[in-house]
Structure 1
């Protein structure tokens, strides 16, 4: 890794004997810091994965802001530091790119954007660990490794929260009916409608809760994130956007089917998902939207669909995932590429702006970090971000715990089935919090 002129880092590579155990020790060690971001691929083998796990801790510098002018502020910060940056973009940054508002209830009160430049970085791949510290603290590497190796793996979460549902089943069915009226009128083709589950006056153990959630799903884009007293515990299966030199990769998920314990029946379910007209049409609509978004920063004729509606298997569900790629125009900055595709189409709908306006009118909770993105920028202007779904959000200060779920509504949607899909997606988070 070549150090940049602005912030020199010391980089050493060591062998780790038990990488799975070491990951858990890294995670446990991270919580002492005010800022921590742990990313875990759970050894899910797919294209475009750089590391098995990354940990970034202890901010040297940071940026925290509301939606106003957020992308420009982030661009300035990223171009000034020219270093590794880790953080998140909340869904409500849509208001910075379009004439939109977010007036729904917010129990979490997270900033709309937060990124930090970590003093200490760890990259794990196989048995190889790269440790990358800012020079100002590189004399702490040995001492930190000793402390990490002494970490005891935390126990599983034991908590019994009373989870409430923001939108009742009856109200949900009514709202889907209203959304489909918009579809029949031609206002939109598809929209992702979400609802919140929450608990008040709650106390949870963030690391133990994350571990329990991750164990249920073992997804490729798991996240433990801490910004002082604000936590994201995510079991996301979905990549939002990745940049590798001039190649941009988007991998939207649309189309879901429940797993079956019997292998043959499970395979039959997967095949039915592959040929399901409604699920495929959901995915294809979003692929068209992503192609259009990427074309705004792409070199001419470089947008391609590498894979359309591939069926992928996770611990709890099968998903249809498409991969859309482009070659970035050399004149476009990393932040501009994100700005012109944000929020991701899989969490909005098509046409995008109309869908976001209708969503805002029908949903009852400000999405905030849910359906936003978490990830990192490299010193070389590359980046990788997930989609924040299957995630628990926790404000320790006011004792508010929240998770939201959603599904894509089209003309072919049956409201009762969409409701069942939402409950299926909520199952893991609910199980962890009500255990």
Structure 2
């Protein structure tokens, strides 16, 4: 090490009036530093992250890692433990104890030697909150946020919290009951604070190690040497050598069939069930990681030693969430086909993939839901699809990928964005909450870390995380590989089962032997422009969005907020109490199931009695039809995530729009023509004759059966133009 760059000492402010003093300096690293980190992770705590997959404007090539961190945070449900991993961590531990003890929402035990524990207080039984505030709901993330914010200082850069976030976190976020039995040792979050970070650009002649020393009160890390934090991998000599699946033959196909029944009923329009393959790990975690780096290049390779004989090894193709400054971005992946034998066959496979209406519908749904996730916490009008159906090559499959960005609204940060996206639709389904309930009821084993996220929350306020898929979960010497397939109504159960095995195959091979698959080349795509809403002058309308638990609610809210920002979103059971004479407009959101599932009659009855205008979307149309005495039918074939041409009467919300417009349909229920009451009039129909718009003849009620907020309806700004028409017809007070 022949070069050292010294940094100023930085004080992090503690609630007790004491500061955590952090001294940081950077040395030139040894040439083999990253490889040494990987090797050591077989025996000590820490992690290695790497990207050996480059994509312009999205992914670059780098290595990053550390061993022997000074502090570890872990949680299960609402309980947590914070412990120093060596004497060097005592000051940071005392600082974090002061930080968390200052939060009234937590019950924190006294600091005892090398650690302390705590519990997040339960929510009051009568707690309710707007959907815009859901990311600040009291949860284990209240603890994570406090720790992250306590470490934030722009001069500290990459310093921060690093680790893994488990799948079960979403169950608390969405208030979904667990139906599968969890193992006693399951954890939901494991995060480390390091005192030494390695970082390099692959191919560069130099890498760098940043060192940190901490002083808090009487505790100074410089008084103690760096020591190993042992957590050695142990082979399971009693484990089986064959690969066993958690589904018996035919069981996975049966799950897909059950999902298709949910699609037909209108309860779901996409689901991503998985199955798990398990065997004893005969190699070491570091060996498997190196194999994956060679055979399965990816933007997010990782090796984590999480203690308790638990390791995560993977090569994820999908960004979970990246936040830099006010910008957030994601890259939903959906649409899959096998690699060809050579570049010529690859090209033929790409053409097949891009020509598949089913694969396009898969990605459309994923991106629509992803935009909805952002809409909860983004500036109205800032969400853009920067890349559409871009091609990415991996060792055995080709994917289509969208690139979606947004700008955080005031009052939100990167952790809000992280929470709002739990978990990616590409690994759950949609409507997301109902899809997660379906998976909890139908999968054969808990996901643990699979389909969660991993990465870092850094001191400069950034979030950089990958979706934890295409990975090996190692526990007690047994290695499990889990894979899922995106299922739609049009899915073939046997084909979806084969897709899960194809996705898992490269990782199962890495457990056994080298994999010689080749790599493809990248294809660029032209960015797509976002929509605009110019010339509209807000009238200060007070709007209530009734959330029927659909995965489009926040995007619909976001569209409306681009014109009228005074909108609040509440789930149906809470919205009824918020519906008062001060509301200017009630919006009935889309939703799974039937109107009666959300007691929509009570909402409409109250709005009508108060003389408040109503705008209904999808389930909102169906609710209006039933309220006024009409009847709903079920389509012979559900229409989910596909474009449909609609003709209209050029009145109401359709005024001034082209006669034929392309819209997105996501429904199975529809209004029966022969049973529409006289007080309602049909304002639009699809090319196959299905009612697409209804308004009341005397009351200020208008509805559409399609989704104005979908990317399909966004062509030529049709969705935003329709929303503007709707708002301009709301009477002024």
Question: Within 1, Cα distance between the matches of 2:53 and 2:366?
Answer: 27
Q: TM-score, normalised by structure 1?
A: 0.89
CA RMSD of aligned residues (A): 2.5
Question: Within 2, Cα distance between the matches of 1:107 and 1:162?
Answer: 23
1:204 deviates by 4.4
Tell me which of 266, 278, 303 is aligned to 2:346: 266
2:685 maps to none
1:386 deviates by 0.5
Change (3 A) 1:3 1:413: farther
4+ long deviations beyond 3 Å:
1-4, 29-32, 48-51, 105-110, 136-141
Question: Within 2, Cα distance between the matches of 1:56 and 1:287?
Answer: 34
| 1:37 and 2:117 correspond | no
Three-state SS of the structure 1 residue aligned to 2:11 is coil
1:134 maps to 212
2:72 maps to 62
1:410 deviates by 0.4
Alpha carbons 1:108, 1:395 under 8 Å: kept: no
Question: Within 2, Cα distance between the matches of 1:414 and 1:79?
Answer: 47
1:140 deviates by 10
1:85 maps to 161
Change (3 A) 1:135 1:281: same
1:393 deviates by 0.6
Instruction: Note the residue ranges of structure 1 that are not aligned, 5 or more in a row.
Output: 148-158
Question: Within 1, Cα distance between the matches of 2:440 and 2:505?
Answer: 25
Tell me which of 305, 314, 318 is aligned to 1:226: 305
Question: Within 2, Cα distance between the matches of 1:3 and 1:280?
Answer: 52
Alpha carbons 1:107, 1:400 under 8 Å: kept: no
1:432 deviates by 2.5
Tell me which of 118, 142, 148 is aligned to 2:194: 118
Question: Within 2, Cα distance between the matches of 1:431 and 1:209?
Answer: 9
1:59 deviates by 2.4
Change (3 A) 1:28 1:261: same
| 1:429 and 2:429 correspond | no
2:36 maps to 25
Cα shift readout 1:369-388 (whole Å, capped 9, x = no counterpart): 00110000111110111011
1:217 deviates by 0.7
| 1:402 and 2:480 correspond | yes
Tell me which of 339, 342, 345 is aligned to 2:422: 342
Point out the more displaced range, 271-280 or 404-413: 271-280
Tell me which of 50, 53, 62 is aligned to 1:52: 62
Tell me which of 222, 226, 237 is aligned to 2:317: 237
1:29 deviates by 3.5
2:174 maps to 98
Q: Spell out the pairing of 1:185-204 with structure 2 (5 A cutoff).
A: 185-199=265-279, 204=283
Point out the more displaced range, 374-383 or 167-176: 167-176
Q: TM-score, normalised by structure 2?
A: 0.54
Three-state SS of the structure 2 residue aligned to 1:8 is strand
Question: Within 1, Cα distance between the matches of 2:33 and 2:399?
Answer: 30
1:3 deviates by 6.3
Alpha carbons 1:63, 1:114 under 8 Å: kept: yes
1:314 deviates by 1.9
Tell me which of 19, 25, 32 is aligned to 1:11: 25
Instruction: Note the residue ranges of structure 2 that are not aligned, 5 or more in a row.
Output: 1-6, 13-20, 79-138, 153-158, 215-220, 229-238, 514-733
Three-state SS of the structure 1 residue aligned to 2:273 is strand
1:76 maps to 146
1:128 deviates by 3.5
The structure carrying a bigger helix percent of its residues is 1
| 1:163 and 2:231 correspond | no
Question: Within 1, Cα distance between the matches of 2:168 and 2:372?
Answer: 21
| 1:217 and 2:296 correspond | yes
